[in-house]
Amino acid sequence: MWKRALTEAGVSDPGLRRDYTEQRRAVRRFARAEYGAARLLLPGGLLPHVVAAVAFMHETDDRIDRGDRAARAAALAEWDGLVRKAFVDGDAGLPVLRCLVHTAERHPAVRACTEEFLHGAAREVEWRAFADEEEFGRYVREYSLPALMLTACLIAPADAADAALFTDGCHRLILAMQRLDFLEDLAEDVREGRHGLTTDAVARHGAELDRPGPALGRLVEEQADRAAGALAEAGPLEGAVDPVHRPFVRALVGVQRCLDAVRRAGASLAARPSGPPALGTAALLLRETAARRRAARP
């Protein structure tokens, strides 16, 4: 299946096929559920391009997520230069960039999304906490949404009105996804001296982020409710895309709806991470795979 997907994606050069395969192995390790959804639910020719975009996003995050603020800013500046050089030269010394450049040649929107993502990465380098919802929302608009659009642009509708609805739906979706990510990574983030919960919300509940307690439990429940509300508002996203892509969109939203695990973890998130239950995720993917096959029947 993978070799056929590479061919359908226009990846014919043997070296480039090896590069894409290397990125695939990496993506399967750090984004198993998302990779499974893409493999089962998207047209085969899109899968390698999704892999290239996700691998690039992960590589960027990894490079700018180490050291103090000055080191992170320097790493971003160096990486930005390497990416821009790769696009200008049409080649790169790194497999992840060779794949990105080829994917952008086949899907030009990827290059514009890459530039927006790298521009927004400066906010990722700077953040340590958010004063309020307005500041959190700005982070999502400037960094998280461009990160999502790196892959989402591959299934964006061509019609302008549908594209606007699609982008708005992606914004609602990433609001929920980012809030859940910050909850799931709370213990690790606090150890690193930063967190994604707004300062005013923490103060309102009187929560201590480094130890479990009723106040933290109430704060987690409030944040989970906000994520659930954003997911509900992302509902029109499915209708904005081509029917062939709707099972994938439903699965992506559905995986993020696994809020029960976060709610059950509650205050224990101060000590250990959480994530979507494997059984529920598998059932969701199987259901959407069956729906896709039914829709494909003549």
* Number of residues that this document lists for the chain: 298
* 151 — pLDDT class (breaks 50, 70, 90): very high
Q: What is the mean pLDDT of residues 90-105?
A: 91
- Which residue, 89, 98, 91, is CA-closest to 48? 98
List, in sequence order, the alpha helices (H) in the chain. Answer: 2-8, 14-30, 32-41, 47-64, 69-89, 95-106, 109-126, 133-139, 145-152, 160-184, 186-191, 199-205, 214-233, 237-240, 246-256, 260-265, 278-296
| Band (90; pLDDT cuts 50, 70, 90) | confident
Q: What is the pLDDT of residue 121?
A: 94
In this predicted structure, the answer to whether residue 293 has a pLDDT above a threshold of 60 is no
Residue 272 in this model has a pLDDT that exceeds 90: no
Other beta carbons less than 10 A from residue 280's beta carbon: 15
pLDDT score at 33: 74
Can you state the angle between helices 160-184 and 145-152, rounded to 10 degrees? 120
pLDDT of residue 38: 85
> Which span out of 7-11, 40-44, 188-192 was modeled with the highest average pLDDT?
7-11
CB 173 within 8 A of CB 148: yes
Q: What is the pLDDT of residue 257?
A: 65
List pLDDT tens digits, range 207-261.
999 989 999 999 999 999 999 999 989 888 888 999 888 888 888 787 666 778 8
More confident residue, 104 or 256: 104
Average pLDDT of 182-204? 92
The full set of domain ranges for the chain reads 1-126, 128-298
pLDDT value at position 287?
54
State the pLDDT at residue 290. 55
Main-chain phi, psi angles of 116, to 5 degrees: -65, -40
**What pLDDT shows up at residue 284?**
46
Q: How confident is the model at residue 274 (pLDDT cuts 50, 70, 90)?
A: confident
Nearest to 186 by CA among 154, 208, 155, 203: 208
CA distance 103 to 100: 5
Give the separation between CA 41 and CA 291, rounded to whole angstroms: 9
- CATH number of the domain at 128-298, please? 1.10.600.10
The confidence band for 296, taking pLDDT boundaries of 50, 70 and 90, is: low
CA distance 121 to 116: 9
Determine the average pLDDT of the residues in 78-84.
95
CA nearest neighbour of 177 among 80, 23, 33: 33
1 forms bridges with which residues in the sheet? none
pLDDT digit string, tens, across residues 280-290 = 554 444 554 55
The predicted pLDDT at position 23 comes to 96
Contacts of 42 (CB under 8 A, 6+ apart): 50, 155, 245, 248
pLDDT in tens, 162-180: 889 999 999 999 999 999 9
Mean pLDDT of 134-148: 95
- What does the mean pLDDT of the chain come to? 88
Q: Do residues 221 and 207 touch, judged by C-beta distance below 8 A?
A: no
Is the pLDDT assigned to residue 279 strictly greater than 90? no
- pLDDT tens column, 122-138: 989 988 889 999 999 99
Report percent pLDDT > 70 for the chain: 91
Buried-exposed string 113-143: b where 16+ CB fall within 10 A, e elsewhere: bbebbbebbbbbbebebbeeeebbeebbebb
In which band, very low, low, confident or very high, does the pLDDT at 1 lie, cut at 50, 70 and 90?
Answer: confident
